[in-house]
Amino acid sequence: MRPYGGLMQVKVDNGRLLATEYKPPYVSDIHGPLRPKKVFSISINKSKNRTEILCLHGYGEAHPGSIEFETEESDIVFKCCQMSSHAHPKGSSVELSTLIKEETNNHTIPFTIDDQKRLECYMKNVQKYRLTHIEVQKPDPVYPIQPGLFQAHYSAHGIEMFLLKYDMSKKEAEVIKITGDPNVPAGETSIYINLRKPMQLTKDQQLDVNSLLLLEEDDIPDSDDVQPRNQPFVIPPGFSTFLDDFTPTTCASTGNDLYITNTNQ
């Protein structure tokens, strides 16, 4: 499951450690909130003088689970010890239908590849996690787009989450996948941005991918040019924007700042 990853928060809650997974919004609602789902908890059972690990998946009450640590990879392996608690009281067909409805917002959108992978993981009693500390940089006016967590639509893979971060000493930026896919796994760089070379293109240079590939160094102005530069914004044929009539048609940049405007409204 390494290619897919995910966003999980582990915090102290009422005297226990509570692990909550935050799933991306439904594909039909890119601006929707993250969907929290409790996964497991760890607490101290004082009456029995032992650590108590509970699985919070399923349709009944919390039930026993176990955790193992794989030190070589810093992985945590969580196992449910009572899979019968995951079974829907009305049978497996209703269980599958319910899970699909949860992932696709009552069948109002297609069931994506990543939905299927998450469903397969959920149906198993073993889940592996690799803990990575996500540090979000503080806001700063020097950043063209403020750093932080973002979400975007990745076609058949649904909505994925990524982290935008900067290294202004090198005038570089990176987009790191938080939830990935087989093309770009979680934790890998999805986009590299060279802030030293803002691009200034004509409409003809953006008409197709081949024209973009023919760009030469001379087409890219020096970064000390701080005068506003208006230029057309064109999406090559064959690419979908999911924005219908709100697709931007022009953009203007000043230094490292980029502004995209819509003239179709």
Please give the residue that has the higher pLDDT: either 121 or 12: 12
Please give the residue that has the higher pLDDT: either 69 or 36: 36
Separation of CA 218 from chain center: 35
Distance between CA atoms of residues 128 and 76, nearest Å: 6
Residue 216 identity: E
The tally of CA atoms less than 13 A away on the side-chain side of residue 47 is 0
Q: Going along the chain, which residue ranges are E strands?
A: 7-13, 16-23, 35-45, 50-55, 63-70, 75-80, 126-130, 148-153, 159-167, 172-177, 189-194, 229-232, 250-254, 257-261
Please give the residue that has the higher pLDDT: either 4 or 258: 4
Q: pLDDT-derived band of residue 19, with 50, 70 and 90 as boundaries?
A: very high
In this prediction, residues 235-253 reach a mean pLDDT of 66
pLDDT (0 to 100) of residue 3:
66
pLDDT(144) > 80: no
Q: pLDDT-derived band of residue 259, with 50, 70 and 90 as boundaries?
A: very low
Which residues make beta-bridge pairs with 67? 78
In this prediction, residues 116-132 reach a mean pLDDT of 63
pLDDT(252) > 70: no
Count of Cβ atoms closer than 10 Å to residue 208 Cβ? 13
Distance between CA atoms of residues 257 and 228, nearest Å: 10
Which of the residue ranges 83-92, 178-187, 254-263 would you say has the lowest mean pLDDT? Answer: 254-263
Q: What is the residue-wise DSSP string for 157-174?
A: G-EEEEEEEEETTTTEEE
Q: Going along 136-232, which residue ranges are E strands?
A: 148-153, 159-167, 172-177, 189-194, 229-232
Answer for the pair 187, 170: CB distance below 8 angstroms, yes or no: no
The tally of CA atoms less than 13 A away on the side-chain side of residue 259 is 9
pLDDT(247) > 80: no
pLDDT(226) > 60: no
Which of the residue ranges 65-69, 101-105, 193-197, 212-216 would you say has the lowest mean pLDDT? Answer: 101-105
First-last CA distance in the chain:
43
pLDDT (0 to 100) of residue 62:
92
Helix (H, G, I), strand (E, B) or coil at 117: helix
Q: pLDDT-derived band of residue 68, with 50, 70 and 90 as boundaries?
A: confident
Answer for the pair 194, 217: CB distance below 8 angstroms, yes or no: no
pLDDT(60) > 70: yes
Helix (H) or strand (E) holding 97: helix 92-104
What is the percent of the chain with per-residue pLDDT over 70, rounded to a whole number?
Answer: 73
pLDDT (0 to 100) of residue 63:
93
Which of the residue ranges 26-30, 135-139, 165-169 would you say has the lowest mean pLDDT? Answer: 26-30
Average pLDDT, the chain: 76
In this prediction, residues 149-170 reach a mean pLDDT of 86
